[in-house]
Amino acid sequence: MRSIVIHKAKDLRIEETQLDTLKAGEVLIRIATGGICGSDLHYYNHGGIGDTIKVKEPMILGHEVSGYIEELGEGVSGFAVGDLIALSPSRPCNNCQYCAEGLQNHCENMRFYGSAMPFPHIQGAFREKIVANANQCVKANGLTAGEAAMGEPLSVCLHGVRRAGEMLGKKVLITGSGPIGTLCVLAARAAGAAEIIVTDLEDAALAYATKVGADKVINMAKASADLDQYKAGKGYFDVLFECSGAAPALAAGISTMRPRGVVMQLGLGGDMTVPMQALTAKELDLRGSFRFHEEFEIAVRLMQQKQIDVRPLISHTVKLDDAIKGFEIAGDRTQAMKAQIEFST
């Protein structure tokens, strides 16, 4: 079977890899769709993420996938051959102290697909077939394979919204209109946010935020003064979802926050400077949000119940043979929001 393997920066290959044998409790999945994430793009463009995470051996990329069940291992129930499933890339050990506390996203032995954080690296899911634990699978009946593959990034945003606390009636600023920023629009709205404003430097990216229901968008490259009205008095927004990982976006966002607001950092841009004085004087809460766990199943359900429609965000779908072209498209913010690879139909 073919897989998409990163060797080093700009050296991405479609090559043959071996399929694991199916064991008890596992299922064999024919991968249908895989979404290209920002971290996949970092591995492709830079051979790593930041200064600390580097690709040191060939690694199969990918962690946003859906597929069809092809075979059930011994003892697996609740699934049938042919079922469309969303596959969670989150594989905690369920044995460490954080797993015991229900904080699986902080598992000390996490084996998250397509991550060069540990060595040997954790191989990813951009492959024609994969053997996975049945408990990673969530039935996605009624969804397209593309939607099912959006379960993962949507889970990241649901986790962020949950970390932000009460959302009902809140005024929300989202900095960064990439896939996570736009999915945060949907997640915050589903949780009851009253007003959502999104900033970015790219009009094409902001158009997607508008498409999924942002009340207003501001291009900070062209019209940063439009944000000034929200700095008046002691600020305006109750919650900031910082999804760009860029220090200027965080600083601009904090300047618009009202006292006791919550600053949620989701963007991963390495270490950045924080306007600490404003944080102190306005009594803001600065919180991080990293990955997800139980939100994965909730994400799939919310899409099935049509409470969240991610389809407008899927901008490109390419065949496996064109995967490298897909990575180039995914990295071009003037045209792509979420680019996906079709492994099979």
Binding residues for Zn ion, rule: CB under 5 A, are 92-93, 96, 99, 107
Instruction: Report the residue number, 132 or 183, with the smaller CB distance to Zn ion.
Output: 132
Whether the CA torsion 264, 269, 271, 274 is positive or negative: it is: negative
Residue 267 vs residues 198, 240, 241, 245, 288: alpha-carbon distances, Å: 14, 12, 9, 4, 9
Q: Name the residue nearer to Zn ion (CB basis): 106 or 301.
A: 106
Q: Which is nearer to Zn ion, 103 or 276 (CB)?
A: 103
Q: How far is the CB of 74 from Zn ion (least distance, A)?
A: 25
DSSP 8-state code for residue 96? S
Cβ 95 to Zn ion, closest distance in Å? 6
3-state SS class at 238: strand
The structure tokens listed for 95 are 């044995």
Nearer to Zn ion, 51 or 101 (CB): 101
Q: What number of other Cβ atoms are within 10 A of residue 73's Cβ?
A: 17
Cα–Cα distance for residue pair 252/182, rounded to 1 Å: 19
Closer CB to Zn ion, 99 or 249, in the complex: 99
Instruction: Classify 116 as helix, strand or coil.
Output: coil
How buried is residue 278: exposed, middle or buried, by Cβ count under 10 Å (0-12/13-18/19+)? Answer: middle
Q: Among 338, 345, 344, 340, which Cα is nearest to 312's?
A: 338
Nearest approach, Cβ of 91 to Zn ion (angstroms)? Answer: 10
CA gap 17, 4 in Å, rounded: 9
Closer Cβ to Zn ion, 91 or 139, answer by number: 91
Task: Give me the least distance between CB of 111 and Zn ion, in Å please.
Answer: 10
Shortest distance, CB of residue 135 to Zn ion, whole angstroms?
A: 14
State in angstroms the smallest separation of the CB of 321 from Zn ion: 38
